[in-house]
Structure formats: structure tokens, C-alpha cells
Amino acid sequence: MDASRDEGVSVAKSSEHEYSGADIQVLEGLEAVRKRPGMYIGSTGPRGLHHLVYEVVDNAVDEALAGYCDTIDVWIRRDNSITVVDNGRGIPIDKHPKEKIPTVEVVLTILHAGGKFGGEGYKVSGGLHGVGVSVVNALSSKVVVDVRRDGKEYEIAFEYGKTSEKLHEVGKSKHTGTTVSFWPDPTIFTESTNYDFETLANRFREMAFLNKGLRITLHDERVTDPEGNPRTESFMYKGGIIDFVQYLNQGKETLNKPIYFEAENENGSVEIAMQWNETYATNSVLAFANNINTHEGGTHLEGFKNAVTRTINEYARAKKFLKEKDSNLTGDDAREGLAAVISVKLHDPQFEGQTKTKLGNTEIRGLVQDAVRQGLADYLEENPTPAKRIITKATAALRLREQLRKVKEKARSQSGLDSLSLPGKLADCSSRKPEESEIFIVEGDSAGGSAKQARDRKYQAILPLRGKILNVERVNPHKAMTSDTINSLITAIGTNIGDSFDADKARYHRIIIMTDADVDGAHIRCLLLTFFYRYMPELINRGYIYIAQPPIFGLKKKNSRNPKIERYIYEESALSSVLSEYDDPSKFDVQRYKGLGEMDPEQLWETTMEPATRTLLQVNIDDAAEAERVVSELMGDIVEPRKEFIQKHARDVRFLDI
């Protein structure tokens, strides 16, 4: 198991089975990690806490990529410590040639010390811009590492990033591998050191899909069955990304069996699985580079999209599905209903973009394009029946798109309106700097009117929506464009959608969904989130989408001439505990806010819109595969998966307004 993560990996020059201290090159020390942990793990909240586990597990996966590990066990202990066990070769324990201490101590105490930096350890390695178990060590109150190699078992321990027990032999071992146990430092992770089972399970499921034959098992000692056995979930997929695509398409009517092909050259390798379904989604394509989910896309995704569009068009024309007079299918037409997984493995991946999850290697574009053109073309020729279904779906999308374009052009010519003008209901802000501007999407004219009066006109825009927007999960994208509400939303935000989408043209970097705190408000919020997930997922990845948190209750003294609310309560469950803080709650009136329109502008500003006092929830997609499945289940046409979801999670519902 390697002990570090980084963007840079290089081709191994040593013999295939060598792995020793000479393979570990030291780049820099560990001084700043505890002082500025957010620079290394993103945050000290739940995401950063879980990132510690990913760093350790990713290193075990590196051993799997190199062909030396096929089993990883992760244990959540009762005290919320973590233990990760792999059956790889074991971190080297010989003296490091430069540092003159055991290599395992080097990789645990020195930043950027790992088997990928010197070019001698791994040909291909996962990890993004992470920095490995050295950072896990720095941010833990205690770390214990057990190494099994060369017929012996060794142990070394650390506290707060510093060695507390030197490496020593503890026995004999017939097996090889590494065990890392760590206790996150509660003085660093002040919000919580409590691990979430589902968050970890979703990540490990994805890892197992991407590494065919690797078994990752998650054990949770905090939850046990009547016999005392811990909650356990195991992930292993013999079909790899073929199984991944089938997982994405659960609950959907499919048009073909999964298509799979792979290719390799001196720059790396690619494997692709793809399967069309009856839905209208055009963004159900997941792209990975060295096991990293490249949310922002990159050259491998560009090559894939270009090749799919070109190959589908060539086949459609060759088989006369498209006549000479017909336009070519667009990328959206060709990918309508397509679920796909692209996984590339590179020797030297270059990541860029706002969140460092966009692949920049130009040489991989050609490899992916050639693989798709050959593999997809062969499949279509050899499987005429599903090929006809795929092309028929794409050409139907083309016909509908052209019909709607003609209708819109006619309407524009008759009205004389510029299609690029901003929506009439939008109360825009005066600032033209997206990074300081925000837009509140509110339901109804009443709430919209109150929000317009409450806002700071310099940087806050208001867009009222009339009623519930269309459920875009159930209609063709071109059909969705007949909705005035959706058109207003797209125009106000400024990015366009589909092949014309450009996140850099977003007019606001905070897009805030502000709905009533009732069932209708929750439904509208869900519909809006579905829209953003399907049509503007990059805005979610960039952290531009937020949910406002208006209060549910207001406490006011009875018989008081002062109309001011003394205290606001934002959670249903908090009402009783707040009232218990007062000696005599009977002296207070409890006002329930079922709608934003029930608050006057001053109250709305103070509780929900004022940056200094409001609470916003930032929307993110930690697990794209799980998000894809849940959106399809909850918002799609098929009832059974939605029914099962409701039955499973019914006890999690916090309140219901009738």
C-alpha cells in the first residue's frame, strides 16, 4: 500500500515486483497541515472528516491497481476511530536512503512522500490533489500502523503527527498487507467526529465498480444485530463498470444490453460501458480518471461525446434513418437516455478546473475517440434491433427539437421580442460582478413581492416563479423548453443548457432556492433541484446552488406593543427545547410561518436574506452515481422504485403539514 496521494504519478522504472524505501521520494515537510487543515482536506466539517478515510482507502486501492491487493476492509469502531486493512504488499519498512529512518515512518510524517513521486513505485495511481496518510496522521490524535511483509509483522504509532512508538517487530506473519487505525483529532474536527455509514458506503461502492474484482467491505461496530454482529456491507463487482451502468439504470426501461469496450496505448488505457434507457436525461455520463470522479469533465469526456455524436450520425445516415434533407443529430439528441461510465487510467494525469476535477491531458482525447468510434460502430452493425431503438429515440428527439424551434421562431417574429432579454418578473441586482451577486428563486408573487422589498438591490436579484415548475425528469429536454417558467430560469441565470451550456457565463455565483417551509415548498424545491441536476450540474459542482432556511416559528411576548419577534426557531424539533428555556412559556405567542409571504420584508431580510444572520445550505453531489439513481427513482415515471424508497425512509420524515 502506498501512503500518499497526488495529482502526479509516473511510469515505474524498477522491476515489477520491487517496492522498497528507494521507491519513496520526499518532496516537503508536514509543518502546515495542523495549522491550515482546510488547505489539505477541503474542510474540517463532515466532508473533510470522511476525506481522511478516502485517503487511506485510496492508497490500498493503488495496491489493487498495481495487481497486489484484492481485499480491503474498513471498520468504523465504537469510538468513531477507523481501521483500514488491505492485503497488499505492505508499506516498506527498510531505512529510507535519504531520511535514514524506516520508510513507513517517512510516509506517515513527511508530506508528499510516496511511491508515485519518484517514478519508481506505481505505474498508475489514484488520488487527486490529496496528500495521503501523512495528512491523516497530522490531523489525528493517534495513528497505529501495522505492516505485514517478509514473513514478519511490524508496528509503529504516532500522536498528533509525531512518532510516539518507533517501528518494532511484533510477531511472525504468513500474509502481507497494511493496517492503518486512526482517531480523528476532535480539536481539529470540532463540528463532529461521527462517521456516516451511507456516505462511506456510497464512496466504496463507486470504488468497487471502477476496480473490477476488488472487494471493499465496510463494518460498523456502532450498530449490531441481535447476535452482536456489526452492520456490514460488502462491494465487489465482477463486471466492473458494466455493473456500474446497470446500477445507474436501475428502475428504468432500457433499450439495449450494456455495451463495453476498452483500448490502450502508450499514454494510458480506457474502458467504457454504455446503455440507453427510455428517459430523457442527457447528463447521465460519469467520467473518471485514475478512479477520480472528474465532475467538471475534461478531454476524455470531450472525446467520448464527440465520438458518440459522430458515430450515431454516420450509422443513422448509412441505414437511412436520416434522409439527405435532415439535419444532423446534435449531441443532446444522440445522448438522450444514455447512461455511460468512462474510466481512463493515465501515467501522468493533469487536473485543472475550479475544483481540480477536470482532466486536461490532450493525448487521452484521441484514445477515447478512437475506442468509442470503433467499439460503438461495431456494436450498432452487429446488433441491428437495439441499434434501431437507439437511433429511433435520437431521431425522435431531433424531430421534436426542430418542431419546437419553428414554433418559437414564429412566436418571436410575431411578438418582436428578443429571446435573450431578461424575464419580465426578474428584479435584477445592479452589480454586474457574478462573484458578488446572488439570485433568490422564490415561489409566487406574494413571496416575491416581500423578497423584492427586503433585498439589497446592489447584489441581490429576485425571480418569482408562478406555481410548480415542470418535472424535467419526465419530459424531453426540448419539450421542457416550451415552459415559460423554465425559459425564465435559464435566461435569468445566463448559462444556457445542453451543448451550449457555459458555466462561466453564470450571472450569479449564489443561486438560492427560497420556498415555503411546508410540503408544497419542499416539492417545489425538489423540482428545482432536479432541474439543476439534469440541466446545470456544473453549477452544483462549483458550489453555486443553495437552499435558504426560513424560520418555522417566531416567539413574541403576549400583550406587548412591540411587534418585533423576540426569537426565531428554524427546526420543528427545536420548539419544545426552546420553550423550556423560559420560566413561563405561557407569556409567549408562538407564530407558525407556513409561507414566506407571512413575514414582512424586515423579518424576511433579518431571518433569511441578510448574509450576516441567515443560514444557507450549499447543495453538492458527493456521489454522482447515487444522486443519479435517487433522482430517477423519486422523479421518474416508474412508480415501484419510488414506493420502495418511501417505505424505506418513511421513519426519517421530520414533519408533515396538512
Cα angle for residues 291, 296, 299 (degrees, 5° grid): 75
Cα angle for residues 504, 355, 141 (degrees, 5° grid): 155
pLDDT value of position 3: 39
d(CA 4, CA 109) in angstroms, rounded, equals 11
Region of 537 on the Ramachandran plot (φ > 0 left; ψ -120 to 50 alpha; else beta): alpha
273-302: average pLDDT: 92
152-159: strand order across its sheet: 162-172, 152-159, 140-149, 177-184, 82-86, 71-76, 215-224, 230-235
Query: Would you name the residues annotated as active-site residues?
Result: 443, 516, 518, 520
589 pLDDT exceeds 50? yes
Residue 259 is inside which H or E element, if any?
A: strand 259-265
635 pLDDT tier (thresholds 50, 70, 90): confident
Amino acid residing at 13: K
Select, from the ranges 298-307, 458-467, 623-632, the one with the highest average predicted confidence (pLDDT): 298-307
645 pLDDT tier (thresholds 50, 70, 90): low
Q: Domain spans of the chain?
A: 21-235, 241-406
DSSP state for residue 211 in the 8-state scheme: S
d(CA 20, CA 424) in angstroms, rounded, equals 68
The residue ranges of DSSP E strands in 466-585, in sequence order, are 510-514, 545-548, 553-557, 567-569
CATH number listed for the domain at residues 241-406? 3.30.230.10
Amino acid residing at 85: V
Compute the CA torsion angle 20, 25, 28, 31 (nearest 10 deg). 0
More confident residue, 492 or 584: 492
Lowest mean per-residue pLDDT among 29-33, 157-161, 316-320: 29-33
% of the chain exceeding 70 in pLDDT: 86
Lowest mean per-residue pLDDT among 111-125, 242-256, 402-416: 111-125
| pLDDT (tens digit per residue) in 184-193 | 999 999 999 9
566 pLDDT tier (thresholds 50, 70, 90): confident
21-235: CATH topology is Heat Shock Protein 90 (3.30.565)
- CB contact at 8 A, 23 and 2: no
| pLDDT (tens digit per residue) in 16-61 | 456 677 666 554 556 778 888 888 888 899 989 999 999 999 989 9
- CB contact at 8 A, 11 and 123: yes
d(CA 129, CA 292) in angstroms, rounded, equals 10
d(CA 85, CA 62) in angstroms, rounded, equals 13
To which residue does cell 488505457 refer?
269
386 pLDDT exceeds 70? yes
| pLDDT (tens digit per residue) in 485-513 | 998 999 999 999 887 889 999 999 999 99
pLDDT value of position 627: 79
179 pLDDT exceeds 80? yes
- CA–CA distance from 383 to each of 18, 243, 257, 479, 546 (Å)? 46, 20, 10, 30, 45
* 380: Cα separation from own chain's centroid: 32
347 pLDDT exceeds 60? yes
352-367: average pLDDT: 87
d(CA 373, CA 371) in angstroms, rounded, equals 6
352 pLDDT exceeds 90? no
640 pLDDT tier (thresholds 50, 70, 90): low
Select, from the ranges 36-50, 359-373, 592-606, the one with the highest average predicted confidence (pLDDT): 359-373
117 pLDDT exceeds 70? no
- C-alpha cell of 56? 487511506
- Write down the pTM of the prediction: 0.79
131 pLDDT exceeds 60? no
Mean pLDDT, the chain, rounded, equals 86
Count of residues in the chain: 658
607 pLDDT tier (thresholds 50, 70, 90): very high
Classify each residue of 555-564 as buried b or exposed e, where b means 16 or more C-beta atoms within 10 Å of its C-beta.
beeeeeeeee
410 pLDDT tier (thresholds 50, 70, 90): low
288 pLDDT tier (thresholds 50, 70, 90): very high
75-82: average pLDDT: 96
371 pLDDT tier (thresholds 50, 70, 90): very high
d(CA 518, CA 316) in angstroms, rounded, equals 49
pLDDT value of position 469: 87
162-168: average pLDDT: 96
- CA–CA distance from 115 to each of 59, 104, 176, 219, 244 (Å)? 10, 11, 17, 28, 29
Lowest mean per-residue pLDDT among 210-214, 244-248, 636-640: 636-640
pLDDT value of position 22: 67
To which residue does cell 438560492 refer?
512
pLDDT value of position 118: 44
234 pLDDT exceeds 70? yes
- C-alpha cell of 183? 482517531
More confident residue, 412 or 430: 430
616-618: strand order across its sheet: 460-465, 438-443, 510-514, 545-548, 616-618
578-587: average pLDDT: 81
% of the chain exceeding 90 in pLDDT: 59
pLDDT value of position 602: 92
Helical residues (DSSP H) of 42-87, grouped into ranges: 46-65
d(CA 293, CA 616) in angstroms, rounded, equals 26
Lowest mean per-residue pLDDT among 21-25, 110-114, 589-593, 606-610: 21-25
pLDDT value of position 95: 93
| SS3 per residue for 143-165 | EEEEEEECCEEEEEEEECCEEEE
